[in-house]
Amino acid sequence: MKIVKVETEAVSLPLEEEAFDSTARWREFNLLLVKVHTDEGLTGFSDIAPLHGKEMGIFEKIILDKLAPKVVGENPYDVERVWAKMVGFGSEAYALGKSGAIVTASSSIDVALWDIVGKSLNTPVYNLLGGMFRDSIELYASFMGQPPADRVKDVLRNGFKGVKVKVGFDVRKDVEYVKMLRDELGHDFKLMVDGNQGYTVEEAITFSRKVEGCNILWLEEPINVYNFNGLKVLSKGVVTPIALGENYYMISEFARAMEENVARIIQPDINHAGGLTQIKKISSIAEYYDIKLAPHLHSIIGFVAGLHLLTAAPNGYIAEYPIYGRVWKIRDALLEKCILIRDGCAKILNKKGIGFEEENLSPLQYKL
């Protein structure tokens, strides 16, 4: 079997309400759909998202002009070989480096290759990653902002047992908000907070100490994730576990965070950290250090790919389920044939590949 063509498609999905964190605001969910075709009629799918600045055209150029010529003619089973060709080494990697956009673009093709292999073997991707360690994955509702307590209460009524909200804006107001959630909703659910790198070290320490009584499961990316000295100070100065990973690209970055013990939950993004080929390795390193795996899952196809990973990974912990508005109908329509969500847990339904075919993707009708 050989790869014969790579295609991309830019898509923009309107959101019911504005989403925001401490560093950005957005009213559309922008993504790049990636398709890898083979000479045996199989197609693998993946996506890159969210792209708040509508960078779809940038990734299209990298994928179609830089990467497609490298992968066409290759066997999709050879994921390690294809990965090495895409990212390159030495002078071959000089122009675009080995981090950032080139890794994101390469990750999208990598995920599509795993999809092809699963389809060709008529088996779900989790069987290629080690088989079924667990048959369902706990989800947490990940809000884009600071929703009122009644909105959080609604998702808890729908079966979710964990919620993540945004902080990193203003320490005093963030503390008041988190305490309000606990005062109004109690302690019978997991509560995580995401700073999106909005705090200084001192602010993160102050925030963490002031919410110690709120039983925060983790504090995600409170400061600049490349300030490893600051992360050391922070991790030693607070009791709340630190979660990191959505903005790391290379295994070496994850390895350093784990070796230096600055993160107790690791969150590689399917889009950014090398696709399934590299994230499986990151997961194994985390398992060695007894660190929980809770991948950052904001793209649509990437979300399901992440569920396959968590199904197979011994240290798989929990999956992020992004909440946009009260109901995100387009995303839910895309997922309904792939997974079953019940009582705050997801179970993979599909029997081969990641779970998407061309007909599954028809709700992506808002093309640019």
pLDDT by residue, tens only, the chain of 368 residues: 999 999 999 999 888 888 888 888 888 999 999 999 999 999 999 999 999 888 999 999 999 999 999 999 999 999 999 999 998 876 576 567 778 899 999 999 999 999 999 999 999 999 999 999 999 999 999 999 999 999 999 999 999 999 999 999 999 999 999 999 999 999 999 999 999 999 999 999 999 999 999 999 999 999 999 999 999 999 999 999 999 999 999 999 999 999 999 999 999 999 899 999 999 999 999 999 999 999 999 999 999 999 999 999 999 999 999 998 877 888 888 898 899 999 999 999 988 999 998 887 876 754 44
End-to-end CA distance of the chain: 32
Q: What is each CA distance from 200 to 234, 243, 311, in whole angstroms?
A: 10, 16, 36
Domains of the chain (ranges plus CATH)? 3-123 (3.30.390.10), 127-361 (3.20.20.120)
pTM for the predicted model, two decimal places? 0.95
CB of 103 closer than 8 Å to CB of 249 = yes
Helices (H) and strands (E) in the chain, counts: 13, 13
**7, 67 in Cβ contact below 8 A?**
no
207 vs 57: CA distance, rounded Å: 39
**Residue in the structure block whose two tokens are 């499986």:** 280
| 3-class secondary structure per residue, 69-90 | HHHCCCCCCCHHHHHHHHHCCH
Per the listing, tokens 């499961």 go with 217
| Element at 330 (helix H, strand E) | helix 329-335
Cβ–Cβ < 8 Å for 169, 25:
no
